[in-house]
Structure 1
Amino acid sequence: MSAAPLVPRQRLIVWTILGSGVVAALHLGKAAIATPLLQTDLGVSLGQAGWLTGIFAVLGLLGGAPAGAVAAAAGGRRTMLLGLGITALAGAAGGVAPSFGLLLVSRLLEGLGFLLIIVAGPAILERLLSGVARDKAFALWSCFMPCGMALVMVAGPLFPGWRWLWWASAALAILAAALVLYCIPHDDSLGMPRRILGDIRQVLRSRAAALLTIVFALYSLMFFALFSFLPVLLMERMDISYRGAGLLSALASVVNAGGNLAAGYLMARGFGRSAVLLFASGVMGASGLGIFLGLFDAPATFLLCLLFSMIGGLIPATLLATATLAVRDAMLVPIAVGLIMQGSNFGQLFGPAVVGSVTAAFGWSAAGVIVLLAATAACLTALLLRTALEHSDPAQVKRVAMGSATTSGKR
């Protein structure tokens, strides 16, 4: 089946949604690049800096599936606008926070906005696109995290202080909301209310959805164990400037998008999803161990960072593309995505916090052990996922595998 290109209107929708996701990821990643400035201005420790990234995920850890249910019931466009609005307000408030405690509270609220944005994006794409156009859009959407992280790593050192970075990121959220208002069609009428609790229970009963969630939690733990502290690590290991560390961190982030896109290519050519997850998890574990143990010189260590990020990028795209295999009702897809993102938020919360604490106590080598254990667990879970997918609804599996032969358009 040939891959029909997206029409101009569809491209506008996809790029608007992707841009909103990039803004959300930028808010997540700004704490990492601002860590040296926060250490100077507010006197935060590495452990506290880890919590500035980790606290972002608290609400997502508890409310991913409910947020997906809200997006399914209230509509993706409304949910996206709400998320961007909360992100803008919380970001602006964080920019005037006089203490670490108040800054932490603002980060918690930014996490709520982030959660709403990342469950609304797939809901909008699922509603407005179908067939090959939808598959291509989901592959592109999975790039929002590395692109946003890379953007803030490059832009962060250009600001005179961390507060200016917070205010600029809030302004970008307002701009994204304006684009959503202009470019995204209104949500369809809600009609009969969905049974939110029943829908959540139905998704929770899916073994495949549970395993996807676990893999995303372990991937996220590994990814943020490195990227929450990568600028600091590079400055220590490579003896480079703050701005140089930001540029190298951006490069390491952006290659993750290459892995995202490569995952779609591999799945389209029949590579098993579990096999892709198994391979990527193994490479992340081995390269992460080499990075944190300091076994190689500085250039080789940075090449391992690139490998860690690029091959790791296969995982989130594969997981998001597999979400439609975990549920039998298309209306439940946003809830499945929300549940999977709860796993991601678990890793975001505990990865930076644990790694920051053990690094402060035992040095960087302790972080390598944590990454290796997480990678081993991810490999084992990927093997279990293979069996779970084999018992999925055959009709649903066939629909996803063939990419759907329907032409793209509104549902």
Structure 2
Amino acid sequence: MTDALRERPGRIDPAFVVILAGVSAALHVGKLPPALPVLQEALGITLLQSGFLLSMVQLAGMTLGLAVGLTADGIGLRRSLMTGLLVLFGAGALGGWAQDATSLIALRALEGFGFLLVSMPAPSLVRQLVPAHRLSAMLGIWGGYMPLGTAAALLSGPLVIFATSWQVWWWGTAGLSLLMAAWVWCAVPSDNQRRPVPALDSRGTDREAWSQRLHQTLRSPGPWLVALSFAMYSGQWLAVIGFLPSIYAQAGVAGSASAVLTALAAAVNIVGNMASGRLLHRGVPAQHLLYTGFCVMALGAFLAFATLPFADGASLPPTIRFAAILLFSAVGGMIPGTLFSLAVRLAPGERTVSTTVGWMQQWAAFGQFTGPPLVAWVASGAGGWHWTWLVTGACSVLGVLLARQLGRQLEPGTAV
């Protein structure tokens, strides 16, 4: 790709437009929790149905991540991104008219598909839109798209719903996706402009067999290692952040304060993502960042949840425990930023970057799908949250072991 396409004087960097598209897609994932109490009252949604609404996006990622990654590599990265934004627009717009839980659950599944079409090609697009010396920093910023979108939804959703209705909240996020699709169309160069593409058939799809890209990806150790590492991170992060409102409610914290504290805990994750990009750019080995992230997550969860034998089973003061949660999320944020960089580097070929990211996303969704129930099961058996650190600590230990193996896949002394 030429420098003229990378740098457009007077215009926002196309790579930032791609990142903003990811944030707008993440809003659809995070828009549900603020609306759940209203939906339960307005549509008569049960607690079980609420659980399906929350998990449906992750279920789509857990089952379709690799397939969507293959599709993105085949039909074109920009085309996949725009299609995903349009799917999010359509599903969100229709969701605002939903009259029952069944239709809303089905549309949440469709939103999950649209989210994958946006998130799969984005790292590969960023790779093609920025010079090599800026790649690590930009991928670190991209790694923060999910916590940024989630935090924005947690903060703005209650305000919009209180001032208007949950339907307006749904239509607003849908309209934002439509605007982002138009911006991507205007600002991001087409696949043919960015790089030569293989011959396409009459339907506009890649003639290269998808099975070849699939085999090339799954027979390489790099995609497996980054995918399993992401599962170890995502499962424990969502378990801790996702249950914070319940934990605070049990502690008697007001709902408004709980929303702000939870949004802050999610938002500081962006700090680690951006820091990882800068540190990788300065030559800090990716393996060291993963070690640090997993070890600090284990320590933060222990300080936040464990009871202290030398203090007659008491926990640390609430202020210190919340600071530990912030540490858990902020430093842990170095893990996804680093893994996105590694996914781009360890993909077995240029045409398999989205497929590798899809495989990583599929395992990340698996972690998010299984982590919270596991923590809840342990908490139910223990009669409290004080053994949560044991589950998150086990994930961190496995993450450190995987990081060790990832280090062996990289050339000694070479920064990502």
TM-score band by shorter chain is: 0.7 to 0.9
DSSP 3-state at the match of 2:223? helix
- The counterpart of 2:345, out of the listed 325, 333, 338, is 325
Q: Distance in 1 between matches of 2:118 and 2:151?
A: 19
Determine the structure 1 residue equivalent to 2:248. Answer: 234
Distance 1:379-1:177 versus aligned 2 partners, 3 A rule = same
Counterpart code for 1:134: L
Q: Indicate conservation of the 8 Å contact 1:211/1:381, yes or no.
A: yes
Determine the structure 2 residue equivalent to 1:407. Answer: none
Q: Distance in 1 between matches of 2:69 and 2:234?
A: 19
Distance 1:218-1:110 versus aligned 2 partners, 3 A rule = same
Determine the structure 2 residue equivalent to 1:218. Answer: 232
Determine the structure 1 residue equivalent to 2:128. Answer: 127
Determine the structure 1 residue equivalent to 2:173. Answer: 169
Deviation at 1:318, TM superposition (A): 0.3
The question of 1:185 aligning with 2:189 is answered yes
Q: Deviations over 1:143-200 (max 9, x none)?
A: 2111101111110110224443222221211121121122122221743322211111
Determine the structure 1 residue equivalent to 2:214. Answer: 200
Distance 1:292-1:355 versus aligned 2 partners, 3 A rule = same
- The counterpart of 1:346, out of the listed 349, 366, 372, is 366
Counterpart code for 1:284: M
* TM superposition score normalised by structure 2: 0.84
Q: Deviations over 1:330-380 (max 9, x none)?
A: 222221111111121112222334445655674434544332222222122
The question of 1:370 aligning with 2:391 is answered yes
Deviation at 1:265, TM superposition (A): 2.2
- The counterpart of 1:271, out of the listed 280, 284, 301, is 284
Counterpart code for 2:215: R
Q: Distance in 2 between matches of 1:347 and 1:31?
A: 20
Q: Deviations over 1:99-150 (max 9, x none)?
A: 4343322221111111110012123223333322433332221221111011
Deviation at 1:314, TM superposition (A): 0.3
The question of 1:334 aligning with 2:354 is answered yes
User: Percent of pairs identical after alignment?
Assistant: 32
Q: Distance in 1 between matches of 2:210 and 2:11?
A: 29
The question of 1:299 aligning with 2:319 is answered yes
The number of aligned residues is 389
Which range is displaced more, 375-384 or 212-221? 375-384
Q: Distance in 1 between matches of 2:283 and 2:19?
A: 26
Counterpart code for 2:258: A
Distance 1:308-1:238 versus aligned 2 partners, 3 A rule = farther
DSSP 3-state at the match of 1:296? coil
Q: Deviations over 1:281-325 (max 9, x none)?
A: 122123224434572333222212211110110000100111133
Q: Distance in 2 between matches of 1:65 and 1:386?
A: 24
The question of 1:250 aligning with 2:267 is answered no
Counterpart code for 1:321: S
Q: Distance in 2 between matches of 1:43 and 1:70?
A: 34
Q: Distance in 2 between matches of 1:355 and 1:104?
A: 24
Determine the structure 1 residue equivalent to 2:409. Answer: 388
DSSP 3-state at the match of 1:229? helix
Q: Distance in 2 between matches of 1:99 and 1:355?
A: 30
Deviation at 1:15, TM superposition (A): 2.2
Q: Distance in 2 between matches of 1:262 and 1:293?
A: 28
Counterpart code for 2:280: M
Determine the structure 1 residue equivalent to 2:273. Answer: 260
Q: Distance in 2 between matches of 1:297 and 1:102?
A: 45
Distance 1:49-1:366 versus aligned 2 partners, 3 A rule = farther
Distance 1:52-1:353 versus aligned 2 partners, 3 A rule = farther
Determine the structure 1 residue equivalent to 2:310. Answer: none
Gaps of 5+ in 2: 1-5, 200-206, 308-314
DSSP 3-state at the match of 1:325? helix
DSSP 3-state at the match of 2:268? helix
- Superposed CA RMSD: 2.6
Q: Deviations over 1:369-406 (max 9, x none)?
A: 3322222221222222222335xxx9xx96xx3x7xxx
Counterpart code for 2:96: G
Counterpart code for 2:278: Y
Distance 1:51-1:350 versus aligned 2 partners, 3 A rule = farther
Q: Distance in 1 between matches of 2:358 and 2:85?
A: 17
Which has the larger Rg? Answer: 2
